[in-house]
């Protein structure tokens, strides 16, 4: 028998010379491919969750306030149809509004509409208020109507709105269906010549985001995979090895999603972060195995496959378990969706680490030794190792400078993080040519605010004259607040009826209750506490944009209401406030989860390595890259929101993986430079592959897609730098036990 570079020509070792044999040599690989394909039909059944109910706290004050408004005055998160024309009161445009409104009312899920055609004015009949059709009134009264100007009609008569109220049964899926029906209806019932109609509203925005993300994915996912394949090919220098790494990612992804489908768990926006996590862990593990194989094959090990497994099994197991623990640490988060991510993320990490192992075992006997050793001659080979070794050695020699530099960076990072702004602006994150973004901009500028905000005040008794006076003052104050574009209350209806007659406001309000109930019921509802009192409602609208600004205005309104009605029960309901509250819960929940994750990792390292100093070293190695990445946000004026804070979960998983490998290498080698020579190239290759792959997201149209890719790529690169420079400086020489 001949030997290849001194290796025994036996048929057993992975990585040994390919031996002639029957088809059964291919059986393990075929079985693995079959297993991967078997998961695909299940994975295809995974349900995408369109709503965000798993993020929000249904018992929180904002959700409770929204429910209170809904039960008393109907839902406020419906659609807005705006028609713009030279004169929206021209007969053809009015007829179109009436026709369209009638058709909209018949759609399933529509509780009703508010439009010029349905709106009621109030006039006096023998001294008593009586509702009359708004359109029956003279043009100048309609245009200047205090209840409907800047809500249903623009003061210049060039825009009019149809507000579509939703039934309480309409959930996210029904909302999507209704939006499609409305768009179809608008297409089949076009406005008269010269007029233009647009559709907006919170549900439209949600679907626009879904569409933008889907469009981005169609572009960025193939681009990411293409870039990943290119980098893997340039590192591994073999098409088969690159294909194996991609196959490992595919198999792990298929089984992760199959498991989700089998468990009946819909994929929400947070679970949507699983694919990048799987990709990161899968690629890193594949590269670690390939580099280990290259090392043992070129080291003329008689059993290179076994030797490679021996060499990698411990750090890979450790990395897998600690990464699972890291992701699993999110289980202690306060939000159900984050807790769920902990469970599924841990499973995804396990699968992403398992698939490369299985593929290595299946394919190693099939590949010639030269396949593995080729990577040593590439850019990520030994030359890079020597270079990184020199850097690590330099860091050890100049450890004081390195540590001082990191000290300064940490202080600067903490200071920068203290300037982090928590906000979200979904409508402006959409591409500039997105129809919903344009519709919201048009509605906000020409007609009214796209977002509803309601202030509920329950003084605990029937409204008194003093209450109405306070309400009038409060209404005027909110109207002067730039955070609101339209504010209405009972006092506006009272003033409308009272005119200049000088009648008592309370008597007019009582008349409204008796004789114009529809108008009255718009502003007055049952008590918030189910007691004998009544709820006064301030109905306001806000422009779409910054959630922080909209919620700040809502909080100002709440404070003003509490000041105007001391002792009254006050609640403010707005979608912006709910989102702000949700962000306020999720961001700390993730931070808390990350702290638990890091602690769990230290404990695991202590158990496995029994070296407290080494275990503690993993803490800054995994934590600092996140700190530095998030510290960069204020510099680029990116706010922190739910999506960006969740990026930490993916980044931590992958950086933790690197940190464990680095720590273990320092554990194995007496010299830090030697450890960096050994592990540095593979860490660099994995970092580069993933950074480049995720940087493809920078071409996305949705700004959150771009931020996702850029931040992840930044976190990986910062993680690599920290691992290769700080670890040697902290651990000095990586003394062996």
Partner 1 sequence: MMRLLLAVALCATLSTVESAPLDELVLPDHRGGTCRLDGVRDRLLMYFRTGERVVAKRCDQVLAKRLGPGRPLVRVIDGREYPPEDRATLTRRIADAVGDEPVTFLLDWDGAVARRLALPEAPLLFVGIAADGRATGSTPCSFDRDSLSRVLALLPALDQTAFTADDLAIIKRSPKDARP
Q: Which is nearer to partner 1, 520 or 537 (CB)?
A: 520
| Contact window for partner 1 (CB under 8 A) among 30-38, 119-127, 148-156, 408-416 | 119-127
Of the candidate spans 124-132, 354-362, 623-631, 702-710, the one that interacts with partner 1 by CB under 8 A turns out to be 124-132
- CB nearer to partner 1: pick between 124 and 343: 124
Segment near partner 1 (CB under 8 A); pick from 66-74, 506-514, 546-554, 626-634: 506-514
Cα–Cα distance measured from residue 84 to residue 448, given in angstroms and rounded to the nearest whole number: 13
The answer to whether 736 and 670 are in contact (CB under 8 A) is: yes
Q: How far is the CB of 146 from partner 1 (least distance, A)?
A: 10
| The only residue of 123, 234, 438, 592 in contact with partner 1, by rule CB under 8 A | 123
The verdict on 135 binding partner 1 (CB under 8 A) reads: no
Q: Please give the span between the terminal C-alpha atoms of the chain, in angstroms, as a whole number.
A: 42
Q: What burial letters (b/e) apply to 598-629, b meaning 16+ CB within 10 Å?
A: bebbbebbeebbebeebbebbebbbbbbbbbb
Give the footprint of partner 1 on residues 511-550 (CB under 8 A).
Answer: 513-518
3-state class of 119 per DSSP?
Answer: coil
Q: Toward partner 1, which CB reaches closer, 481 or 495?
A: 495
496 binding partner 1? (CB under 8 A): yes
CB 186 within 8 A of CB 81: yes
Instruction: Could you list the beta-strand ranges (E) of 212-369.
Output: none
Binding of residue 445 to partner 1 (CB under 8 A): no
- What are residue 453's DSSP bridge partners? 540, 574
**122 near partner 1 (CB under 8 A):** yes
Among 45, 139, 141, 610, binds partner 1 (CB under 8 A): 141
- Which segments of 98-145 are extended strands (E)? 110-114, 120-125, 128-133
Minimum CB separation from partner 1 for residue 517, in Å? Answer: 6
CB of 118 vs partner 1, minimal distance in Å? 13
CA separation for the pair 422, 641 (Å, rounded): 6
Asked if 504 touches partner 1 (CB under 8 A), the answer is no
Which one of the spans 129-137, 233-241, 271-279, 476-484 is the region binding partner 1 (CB under 8 A)? 129-137
Closest CA to 655 of 682, 621, 627: 621
* Residue 502 engages partner 1 in binding (rule: CB under 8 A): no
**Shortest separation between residue 488's beta carbon and partner 1, angstroms:** 17
Q: Determine the interface stretch with partner 1 among 6-14, 117-125, 423-431, 652-660 (rule: CB under 8 A).
A: 117-125
What is the phi/psi pair of residue 364, to 5°? -55, -45
Does residue 461 belong to the site contacting partner 1 (CB under 8 A)?
no
**Shortest Cβ 462–partner 1 spacing (Å):** 9
505 binds partner 1 (CB under 8 A): no
Site size toward partner 1 (CB under 8 A) is 24
| Cβ closest to partner 1, residue 513 vs residue 585 | 513
Contact call for residues 441 and 660 (beta carbons, < 8 A): no
| Contact of 284 with 658, CB cutoff 8 Å | yes
The binder of partner 1 chosen from 41, 44, 47, 128 (CB under 8 A): 128
What are the E-state strand segments in 40-98? 79-84
Question: Residue 216 is encoded by which pair of tokens?
Answer: 């981005």
Contact 626, 652 (CB under 8 A): yes
498 binds partner 1 (CB under 8 A): yes
* DSSP structure string for 658-723: HHHHHHHHHHH-SSHHHHHHHHHHHHHHHHHHHHHHHHGGGG-SSHHHHHHHHHHHHHHHHHHHHH
State how far the alpha carbon of 540 is from the alpha carbons of 119, 449, 547, in Å.
17, 8, 16
Tell whether residue 219 is a contact of partner 1 (CB under 8 A). no
Distance CA 445, CA 465 (A): 36
CA distance 302 to 289: 17
The verdict on 499 binding partner 1 (CB under 8 A) reads: yes
Which of 16, 131, 282, 681 touches partner 1 by CB under 8 A? Answer: 131
- Does 145 interact with partner 1 (rule: CB under 8 A)? no
Name the residue nearer to partner 1 (CB basis): 73 or 79. Answer: 73
- 126, 140, 433, 637: which one contacts partner 1 (CB under 8 A)? 126
Given 501, 531, 595, 735, the residue binding partner 1 (CB under 8 A): 501
Closest approach, Cβ 498 to partner 1, in A, equals: 7
Shortest separation between residue 569's beta carbon and partner 1, angstroms: 21
Per-residue contact flags (x/-) with partner 1 for residues 33 to 72, judged by CB under 8 A: ----------------------------------------
CB of 632 to partner 1, least distance (A): 60
CB of residue 578 vs partner 1: minimum separation in angstroms?
32
Q: Evaluate whether 48 touches 267 at the Cβ level (below 8 Å).
A: yes
Instruction: Please name every residue paired with 196 in a beta bridge, in sequence order, or none if there are none.
Output: 84
CA angle 513, 518, 520 (to 5 degrees): 40
167 belongs to the binding site for partner 1 (CB under 8 A): no
The two structure tokens encoding residue 693: 């792959």
Question: Bridge partners of 570?
Answer: 457
Cα dist from 33 to 45, 226, 366, whole Å? 20, 21, 15
Q: Between 302 and 460, whose beta carbon lies closer to partner 1?
A: 460
Count Cβ atoms below 10 Å from residue 396 Cβ, excluding itself. 21
Cβ distance to partner 1 smaller for residue 249 or 497: 497
Taking the complex as a whole, how short is the minimal distance between the CB of residue 169 and partner 1, in angstroms?
20
**CA-CA distance, 555 to 558, in Å (whole number)?**
5
Q: Interface with partner 1 includes 648 (CB under 8 A)?
A: no
Q: Toward partner 1, which CB reaches closer, 311 or 498? A: 498
Residue with Cβ nearer partner 1 (132 or 632): 132
Nearer CB in complex with partner 1: 55/73: 73
Nearest to partner 1 of 12, 125 (CB atom): 125
Contact partners, residue 720, CB within 8 Å, separation at least 6: 658, 683, 684, 687
* Residue from 124, 361, 469, 477 binding partner 1 (CB under 8 A): 124
Tokens standing for residue 570: 């006050």
Summarize as ranges the residues that interact with partner 1 (CB under 8 A).
122-128, 130-132, 137, 141, 496-499, 501, 510, 513-518
């Amino acid at each position: 028998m001949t030997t290849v570079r001194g290796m025994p020509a036996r048929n057993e070792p992975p990585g040994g010379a390919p031996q002639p044999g029957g088809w059964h040599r291919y059986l393990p690989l075929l079985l693995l491919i079959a297993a991967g394909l078997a998961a695909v039909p299940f994975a295809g059944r995974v349900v995408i969750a369109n709503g965000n109910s798993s993020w929000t706290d249904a018992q929180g004050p904002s959700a409770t306030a929204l429910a209170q408004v809904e039960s008393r005055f109907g839902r406020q998160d419906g659609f807005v149809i705006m028609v713009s024309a030279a004169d929206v009161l021209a007969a053809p445009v009015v007829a179109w509004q009436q026709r369209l409104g009638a058709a909209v009312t018949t759609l399933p899920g529509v509780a009703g509409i508010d439009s010029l055609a349905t709106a009621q004015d109030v006039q006096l009949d023998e001294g008593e208020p009586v509702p009359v059709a708004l359109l029956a009134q003279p043009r100048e009264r309609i245009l200047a109507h205090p209840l409907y100007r800047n809500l249903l009609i623009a003061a210049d008569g060039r825009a009019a709105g149809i507000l579509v109220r939703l039934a309480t049964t309409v959930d996210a899926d029904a909302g999507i269906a209704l939006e499609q029906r409305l768009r179809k209806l608008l297409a089949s019932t076009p406005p008269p010549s010269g007029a233009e109609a647009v559709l907006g509203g919170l549900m439209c925005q949600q679907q626009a985001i879904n569409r933008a993300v889907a469009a981005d994915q169609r572009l960025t996912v193939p681009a990411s995979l293409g870039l990943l394949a290119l980098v893997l090919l340039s590192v591994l220098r073999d098409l088969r090895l690159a294909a194996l790494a991609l196959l490992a990612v595919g198999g792990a992804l298929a089984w992760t999603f199959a498991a989700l489908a089998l468990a009946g768990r819909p994929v929400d926006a947070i679970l949507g972060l699983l694919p990048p996590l799987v990709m990161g862990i899968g690629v890193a593990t594949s590269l670690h195995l390939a580099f280990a194989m290259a090392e043992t094959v070129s080291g003329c090990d008689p059993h290179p496959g076994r030797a490679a497994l021996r060499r990698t099994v411990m750090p890979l197991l450790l990395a897998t378990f600690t990464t699972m623990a890291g992701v699993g640490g999110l289980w202690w988060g306060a939000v159900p969706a984050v807790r769920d991510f902990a469970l599924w993320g841990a499973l995804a990490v396990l699968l992403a680490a398992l698939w490369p192992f299985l593929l290595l075992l299946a394919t190693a006997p099939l590949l010639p030794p030269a396949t593995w050793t080729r990577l040593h001659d590439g850019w990520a080979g030994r030359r890079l190792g020597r270079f990184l070794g020199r850097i690590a050695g330099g860091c050890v020699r100049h450890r004081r400078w390195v540590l001082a530099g990191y000290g300064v960076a940490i202080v600067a990072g903490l200071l920068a993080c203290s300037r982090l702004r928590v906000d979200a602006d979904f409508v402006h994150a959409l591409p500039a040519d997105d129809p919903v973004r344009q519709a919201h901009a048009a509605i906000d500028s020409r007609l009214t605010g796209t977002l509803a905000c309601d202030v509920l005040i329950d003084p605990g008794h029937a409204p008194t004259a003093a209450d109405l006076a306070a309400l009038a003052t409060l209404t005027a104050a909110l109207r002067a607040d730039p955070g609101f574009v339209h504010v209405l209350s009972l006092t506006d209806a009272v003033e409308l009826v009272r005119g200049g007659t000088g009648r008592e406001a309370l008597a007019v309000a009582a008349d409204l209750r008796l004789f114009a109930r529809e108008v009255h019921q718009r502003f007055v509802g049952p008590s918030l506490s189910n007691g004998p009192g009544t709820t006064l409602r301030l109905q306001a609208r806000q422009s779409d944009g910054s959630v922080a600004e909209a919620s700040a205005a809502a909080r100002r309104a709440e404070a003003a209401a509490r000041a105007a009605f001391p002792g009254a029960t006050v609640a403010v309901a707005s979608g912006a406030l709910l989102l702000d509250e949700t962000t306020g819960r999720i961001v700390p929940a993730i931070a808390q989860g990350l702290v638990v994750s890091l602690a769990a990792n230290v404990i695991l390292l202590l158990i496995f390595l029994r070296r407290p100093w080494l275990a503690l070293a993993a803490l800054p190695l995994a934590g600092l890259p996140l700190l530095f990445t998030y510290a960069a946000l204020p510099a680029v004026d990116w706010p922190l929101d739910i999506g960006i804070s969740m990026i930490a979960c993916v980044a931590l998983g992958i950086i933790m993986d690197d940190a464990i490998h680095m720590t273990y290498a320092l554990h194995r080698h007496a010299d830090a430079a030697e450890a960096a020579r050994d592990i540095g190239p593979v860490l660099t290759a994995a970092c580069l592959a993933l950074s480049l792959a995720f940087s493809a997201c920078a071409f996305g149209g949705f700004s959150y897609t771009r931020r996702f890719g850029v931040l992840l790529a930044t976190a990986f690169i910062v993680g690599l730098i920290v691992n290769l420079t700080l670890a040697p400086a902290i651990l000095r020489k990586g003394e062996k036990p």
